[in-house]
Amino acid sequence: MAFINAHFPPFWRNLPRDLNHCVNYSFELIDIPMNLNLFYSKERNQYHSTLIMAQLIKHLPADGDKIIGITDADIYIPILTFLFGEAQLGGRVALVSTYRLKNQFYGLPADSNLLYERVLKEILHELGHTMGLIHCSDFECVMNSSTYVENIDLKFSRFCKSCQGILGIECEE
């Protein structure tokens, strides 16, 4: 799990622990400095997500299986106005942006616990994609597609039974 250029709150170091109920990976936490200006679009005032992921995968340790980056930059892909996160379907790399997960973006007071929950869910969602999962129609499943931040809040930070079945895992209650 790679924190990109950011000084995230210390308690975010608990993310791997809070993912363990559904993901049977041992996480290594790394901090990555990255020159995001290389991926900056002046017209859009955003950062190209796919290009960041291409850079990110270079930081995957030799014994690592997957890498997921966390950035506070506002990310995009050319065809969409914004993204909460991006992943290679069935691949090794994923990226989550906290930019639009923050309450302040929507003119609301900051809520660090809510932000943590959202980040946790988005990480699990993108990791699900790297494990081959597609979007799920169960609105409470973490693999449900979220195009609004409110959708994320409706979801649980866990895979539904059907997605668990596809992965061959059982999330702990």
Residues annotated as catalytic (active site), given as ranges: 126
Smallest separation, CB 12 to other proteins (Å): 25
Nearer to other proteins, 112 or 145 (CB): 145
Q: Does 38 bind other proteins (CB under 8 A)?
A: no
Look at residues 51, 111, 108 and name the one whose alpha carbon lies nearest to residue 75.
51
Q: What b/e readout covers 39-52, taking b as 16+ CB neighbours within 10 angstroms?
A: beeeeeebbbbbbb
Nearer to other proteins, 20 or 162 (CB): 162
One residue of 25, 27, 40, 82 binding other proteins per CB under 8 A: 82
Q: For residues 134 and 37, what is the distance between their CA atoms, to the nearest angstrom? A: 31
Per CB under 8 A, which of residues 49..68 are in contact with other proteins?
50
- Beta-strand pair 85-87/46-48: unpaired
Per CB under 8 A, which of residues 102..161 are in contact with other proteins?
129, 134-135, 145, 147-148
Q: Which two tokens stand for residue 82?
A: 């914004």
Q: Which two tokens stand for residue 73?
A: 């930059």
Smallest separation, CB 79 to other proteins (Å): 5
One residue of 15, 87, 152, 160 binding other proteins per CB under 8 A: 87
CA neighbours closer than 13 Å in the CB half-sphere of residue 45: 1
